[in-house]
């Protein structure tokens, strides 16, 4: 049986920074028990590419961190089979992600590097950079 989104991300092993941030922002329970959700999950390498001051600033400001993290989450389960054309998806944060299909799939300026990691309460698409909502 698949695990919830948080357990699935823990098992994948390359989301330590994301999971630390989810805990710091108090979003663990929502992602574990709520849903279904589609999560565009940045890898540890994606977080490492951010300036250190940006990451520390977010960790020091739980509400800003929650905003950035919830910008990676779309209500409902959207699999790669459902992403057949360019679209816009409204996030839990309230912003809009631009999804483009052009030989691969991009979300804003991030590339989906692995799609359809199934969880019992949603699906995870692994992306190569952190998405930052407009101010």
Model confidence pLDDT, tens digit, residues 50-77 = 998 998 898 899 999 999 999 999 999 9
Q: Would you give the DSSP letter of residue 82? A: G
Supply the pLDDT for residue 114.
96
Specify the CATH architecture of the domain 5-127. Roll (2.30)
pLDDT, tens digit, for every residue of 12-38?
Answer: 989 999 999 999 899 999 999 999 999
Every domain of the chain and the residues it spans: 5-127
The CA distance from 44 to 16, in Å, is: 6
Strand locations in the chain (E): 37-42, 73-75, 87-90, 96-101, 105-107, 110-119, 122-127
- 31 in Cβ contact with 117 (< 8 Å): no
pTM of the model: 0.94
């Amino acid at each position: 049986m698949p695990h919830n989104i948080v357990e699935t991300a823990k098992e994948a092993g390359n989301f330590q920074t994301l999971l630390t941030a989810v805990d710091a922002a108090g979003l663990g329970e929502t992602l574990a028990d709520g849903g279904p959700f589609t999560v565009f999950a940045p890898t540890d390498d994606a977080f490492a590419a951010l300036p250190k001051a940006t990451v520390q600033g977010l960790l020091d400001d739980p509400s800003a961190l929650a905003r950035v993290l919830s910008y990676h989450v779309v209500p409902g389960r959207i699999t790669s089979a459902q992403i057949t054309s360019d679209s816009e998806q409204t996030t839990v944060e309230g912003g809009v992600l631009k999804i483009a299909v052009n030989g691969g799939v991009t979300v804003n300026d991030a590339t989906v590097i692995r799609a359809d990691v199934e969880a019992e309460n949603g699906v995870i698409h692994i992306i190569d950079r952190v998405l930052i909502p407009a101010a």
